[in-house]
């Protein structure tokens, strides 16, 4: 099911981008006399391939990992991508980016650290059983007295 959803999504993307490309060629033919990949080099191809695999990797992670962990990994990957792009392409990293990246990394650290647990501690009634012998999914039986809907 997971791969079929991504397959449909990418087929729609290929169709939509193909239509847009054909319209661009139709209305701006002079831009495409050298070809659609004119000006590309090894690094731009590498960045395009890296970006194209991002959706599949995020989809794969969403199937097996926690949603918050996937979002954190995606944000850290974006920050790393900007830093690597700055080194490769000579882009200038602004002070605003440095502040935002630092705030993001600090928030991820605080989210996963035990130092903030005093602010978000659970009461004894809400404690979750984390023993390894507990099944991941438990069957819950609904009595006849409970009406659903």
Can you spell out the DSSP letters for 70-117? Answer: HHHHHHHHHHHHHHHHHHHH-PPPPHHHHHHHHHHHHHHHHHH-STTT
Which pair of tokens denotes residue 17?
A: 């981008």
pLDDT of the residue at 125: 43
144, exposed or middle or buried, with CB in 10 Å at 0-12, 13-18, 19+?
exposed
Average pLDDT over every residue of 5-24: 84
pTM for the whole structure:
0.43
51, exposed or middle or buried, with CB in 10 Å at 0-12, 13-18, 19+?
exposed
Q: Is the pLDDT of residue 128 over 60?
A: no
Q: Is 81 helix (H, G, I), strand (E, B) or coil?
A: helix
pLDDT of the residue at 149: 45
Higher pLDDT, 147 or 29: 29
């Amino acid at each position: 099911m997971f791969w079929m959803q991504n397959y449909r999504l990418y087929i729609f993307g290929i169709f939509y981008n193909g239509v847009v490309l054909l319209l661009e060629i139709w209305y701006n033919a002079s831009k495409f006399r050298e070809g659609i990949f004119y000006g590309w080099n090894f690094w731009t191809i590498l960045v395009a391939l890296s970006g194209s695999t991002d959706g599949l990797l995020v989809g794969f992670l969403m199937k097996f990992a926690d949603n918050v962990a996937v979002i954190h990994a995606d944000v850290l990957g974006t920050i790393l991508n900007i830093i690597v792009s700055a080194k490769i392409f000579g882009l200038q990293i602004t002070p605003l980016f440095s502040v935002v990246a630092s705030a993001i990394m600090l928030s991820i650290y605080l989210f996963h650290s035990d130092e903030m647990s005093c602010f978000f501690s659970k009461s004894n009634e809400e404690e979750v059983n984390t023993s390894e012998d507990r099944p991941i999914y438990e069957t819950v039986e609904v009595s006849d007295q409970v009406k659903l809907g």
